[in-house]
Amino acid sequence: MEQKPAGIKLIAIALLPIFLHLTLFSIDILKNSPVLIGRLDLAVFVLFIVYLCGLILTLQYKKYFMHLVLIMYSLFCAIIVIDLFFKFSLNLPYAPVHWIADAGEGLMPGITGRIEFSINKYGLRGPQTGFREAEIKILTVGGSAVECYTVTDKLTWPWLLQYKLALRLGKRVYVGNAGKSSSFTLNHIYLLENYQLAPKFDWVILLAGVNDMGRLVQGDYASRKPFIPQETFEYRWKNSPYYRNLAFFQRIGRKYRAISNGQVLQDPAGGCYIAMRIKRRIFLANNPITSIPSSRIEQGLLTYKENLRKIIALCRKRNQNLVMVTQPALWQKNLPENLQNLLWEQTTDGAATAELLETLLKAYNQAMLEVCSQENIPCIDLASMLENDQSLFYDDCHFNIHGCEVASEIIAREMLRLLARQKGA
């Protein structure tokens, strides 16, 4: 029996999935945020290449051509049905990252119970809804002390801040948590410049200092600079290809997230701290870092101040209100042994003493206070308010549940004062 070639209409139907894919993917690429490609995206690309090659090979054989087209359309229909099942039957939230874990027993003092970590459709830690309707929109920016990685969503200080402000103001408030572990001021600048929703927030709260200080201790400020775009948008603010928004693909890709910056590997249960704390104690015994050349410190502080001023200039250009917050930490001279054992801060071949870390962080906090005073920017000196309370942290500088409650109360109180002053101006 003579085989018939595929007709024009059939070819058009066959090419429709490829056309739609290219159109939607092109729209993603044209958006402001960068599109980061992973293994899932490579698999989708290979699928369409195989399909296109199959169409070319079967072009002269209508029967096989139709079979291939039916397989592709059947696959699409199956994905849609499964997606609807996941979305409605399992009630899955839209979140590029979402996991639930149990806190490790005794590993993180003040962290107990179940930990739920989710990133919403805005690429932020915060409620899935309420952004557009909010009368006051606040973006919190910083590193892990803002992200609160091991504190369950609704007990993080930015989430509590939203609750407290909304309750006391009687208004709809939205606080989006843009904190991300290991981020320092270069990441913050890049985020505020390139995150699409950043200009839509009325207020920016920046809690910073410790990771910039970390770049000084590690000596890796220059080597981190080329990776700022990828670091900043990885997982959280990347412009995901359209198909990743399907609940089906989110379910496939959902897993525990590890954060690695070359020195630190975090896990939700806190098991990583066992090895890091042991390693720090070994480093302190063999290669303690007790000082850093004053010229390096001066250059680090100068760079930090310059970056803070860039953030101030950017917010002023957008007529955004900016509040800066100094970084509290557990580091102190003559820290009791039980608290010394909670620390894990280290370099590739040594570890700075708690006394040196305290001195350096105070210098960075003072630098922030000076810049804010010179630029007439409100600054909440959280570090000085909390320096005598050692029950707020589960390690070097990360808040536990109680710490988030205390921090949120102080920041809420100061924000209420600033909002009242703004209203009366």
Q: Where are the domains of the chain?
A: 8-89, 98-424
pLDDT the model gives residue 21: 87
Vertex 151: Cα angle to 150 and 155 (nearest 5): 170
pLDDT the model gives residue 175: 98
Fold of 98-424: Rossmann fold (3.40.50)
Query: Residue 394 pLDDT > 90, yes or no?
Result: yes
Non-local (6+) Cβ contacts of 52 within 8 A are 18
Higher pLDDT, 351 or 25: 351
pLDDT the model gives residue 157: 98
Rounded distance between C-alpha atoms, residue 391 and residue 302, angstroms: 32
Instruction: Report the predicted TM-score, pTM, of the whole model to 2 decimal places.
Output: 0.76
**8-state DSSP, 143:** S
Higher pLDDT, 62 or 170: 170
**H-only helix segments in 85-209:** 144-147, 157-169, 185-194
Q: For the ranges 35-49, 119-133, 157-171, 354-368, which has the lowest average pLDDT? A: 35-49
* Tens-digit pLDDT profile for residues 63-108: 889 999 999 999 889 888 887 876 665 544 444 566 667 777 778 9
pLDDT the model gives residue 258: 35
Higher pLDDT, 310 or 20: 310
| Mean pLDDT confidence for 161-188 | 96
Rounded distance between C-alpha atoms, residue 52 and residue 56, angstroms: 6
pLDDT the model gives residue 37: 62
* Tens-digit pLDDT profile for residues 209-220: 999 999 999 999
**H-only helix segments in 351-400:** 354-375, 382-386
Query: Residue 1 pLDDT > 90, yes or no?
Result: no
In DSSP terms, 288 is beta-bridged to 351
Mean pLDDT of the chain: 86
User: What phi and psi values does residue 379 have, to the nearest 5 degrees?
Assistant: -135, 125
| Mean pLDDT confidence for 138-154 | 95
Confidence band, pLDDT 50/70/90 cuts, at residue 349: confident
Rounded distance between C-alpha atoms, residue 146 and residue 398, angstroms: 9
Rounded distance between C-alpha atoms, residue 178 and residue 119, angstroms: 10
* Tens-digit pLDDT profile for residues 221-265: 999 999 898 788 765 555 567 776 676 665 554 443 333 333 334
